[in-house]
Structure 1
Amino acid sequence: MRKTSQWISSIIIFLLIGTILFLNISEILRKKSGGESDMIHSFYQIEEDTLDVLCLGSSHGYSAIQPNTLWKEFGLTSYVMCSQKQSIGSSYYLLKEALNYQKPKVVLLESYYFYFDRKYTEEASLRMGFDGMRMGRVKWEMVQDFLGELPVKDKLTYYLPFLEYHSRWDSLEDLDFHPKNYLKGGILDLTVYPMEEPELPDEGCELPDISQEYFEKIISLCREHDIQLILYAAPYGYENEGGYERYVNRQKINITLEAYLEKKDIPFIYYQKNNTAALDYQTDFRDYVHLNMNGSVKLTRNLGDYMKENYTLPDHRREDKYQSWWADYDRFEEDMAEAEKNIQKK
């Protein structure tokens, strides 16, 4: 009897060790977003129920918000849970997952992909947003909703990313082993792309039904959890004539969205129309559609002012429980200084 019990215990221990090793290897092999911080997976490293602000959206969002600025200047804890080409549907599921671990007082949603008329944009971007999500009910719901028609073997690669990336051994980089978690989902890019400030179109256009559907779900989640929802539109320009047409169509969505949100009494900060952050198109962009470090600090500071003026939010800067945020800020400052030195050498 004792030998049987020992044998069962050994099997259980072996399976546990094997599972832990499998999950760690899967995480290393999971494809990261180039030089960006590991936005989704690193979210789970934040101590539970310590976030004041959660940010959702696409690359326009993670290029616009600096959590370390919100910490240093306002004492707010925040995380940027954005990902490339994140649809409104994807934002909904990421919010739903985040609320299993955090109780944010404010959700900031960047509006760019409101124009998109499908549940998700493309497979690569969907994986970038969800491969880092823990296996659980929300991930299962997302896969069934977005990918319900796929064969079971293809769905499994979303539940177990290892099955998709097991051949990445020969392309592993330092980022795979040392993600920049101290950026809290933000990025650090000092590139400057000067351009002229573009004009806005005169009228709006119809909002896609699918975006409205998932946005209503986001509204319901925020109300259920007593969260203040704020939408903002980070500014951008265009590269050429073809880009101008795309720019106009996206801005038409924002024009309609502004009136739509006003009826719902949901704040919308439209930076392309009302440049309350004093953004400079000659100095504050890293390419024609994304803010650089300088621009993101300006926009983040403006959003911080807005939140502090309109809502009752804490200031954690002198609280012992949050001192690790100062350590992360120091690392952020060090990397900033190093990046500036590298630019000066060029």
Structure 2
Amino acid sequence: MSQTSTLLSLPYIQPAQAQKHVTHNEALRRLDALVQLSVESRTLAEPPANPADGARYIVASGATGDWAGQEFAVALNAGGGWLFLTPNVGWQAWVADEGTTVTWTGSLWQAGGSGALPDRLGLGTPVDPVSRLSIAAPATMLSHEGDDHQLKINKASDADTASLLFQSNWVGHAEMGLAGDTAFSIKVSDGTSWTTALSFDPVTGAASGAAVSAGPEESNPDALVRAGDGYLKGTILDAVAQDGNGVPTGGVIERGANADGDYVRFADGTQICTSGDIPTGGITNPTGALFQSNHLAWTFPAPFAPGVPPILVGESGNTGAWPTFAPHGVLSTGFKATSIVSIGVGLNLRLCAIGRWI
């Protein structure tokens, strides 16, 4: 007949055994230690200084002192001495100083109850093979432990999806994440079809999608305007330009000046050039009933569009004198000062040319 039981190694009372109470009490002591097994700690490699009677510990590796050679055994303090219980695979114990349950796997005490990682968990709701973690609750809180906290959603490859899906009555209406590539996107749905409202290039960070203007000719009044497609404080006053279709690609107003005068260009193609004071010299050459100066020239401070000479006007500050222009082109104009009377000392003329730069 075996001396001990198969599972818990409880001592059997043998036939004709004397002092049967000793064996009986030993079996009770082991049962008292193992039933509803709860240990104080599993990190000690030597006995604590003043353990309570009945205190239990899982002996850590590298055991010394009275625990030497008892690594991973359950140590019971019984009447001032130590009783060691060798675990069998599947034993479970509550570890008080960790607040967790551990299971003996045959080689270590594994945290997590059964020793195997659970593949499904439903809190207040059933789970299925796809939604293996399911929670039905008014709210779900994820908080930090010490400082930061991150929720990480990982996918297998670029072509797969890692996203958050928002549903109404189990119908998807919004999704954000990495859907089929590595560009973060926000999608919306009417319940049938999906539209990518925003997508961000993973290299440049540039935004695209239905919510963003597709270019300077965007016709959707609800689209968000990109800085390159609209006008901001930094682009209202800037060099003007147009593409081949006549769409402005630069600033709204361009202004400049040089020795020939000032100019202003507008995004629609309009250009206005003005001169400073231009001395005429004497206006004494008879021309019919009038008098004119010698031939003069003004180079425009900015060229006009080829084949489209500007309209020219000017003023002298004298109601009886004015400029007459001929010939003129897109880079400069010739002119004379004309007066109804002879003016020996001449005047200062200010000229203006209005045309197009494109």
TM normalised by structure 1 equals 0.15
Q: Please identify which structure carries the higher strand content.
A: 2
- Greater RCO between the two (CA within 8 Å, min separation 6)? 1
Bigger Rg, structure 1 or 2: 2
Q: Please identify which structure carries the higher helix content.
A: 1
TM normalised by structure 2 equals 0.15
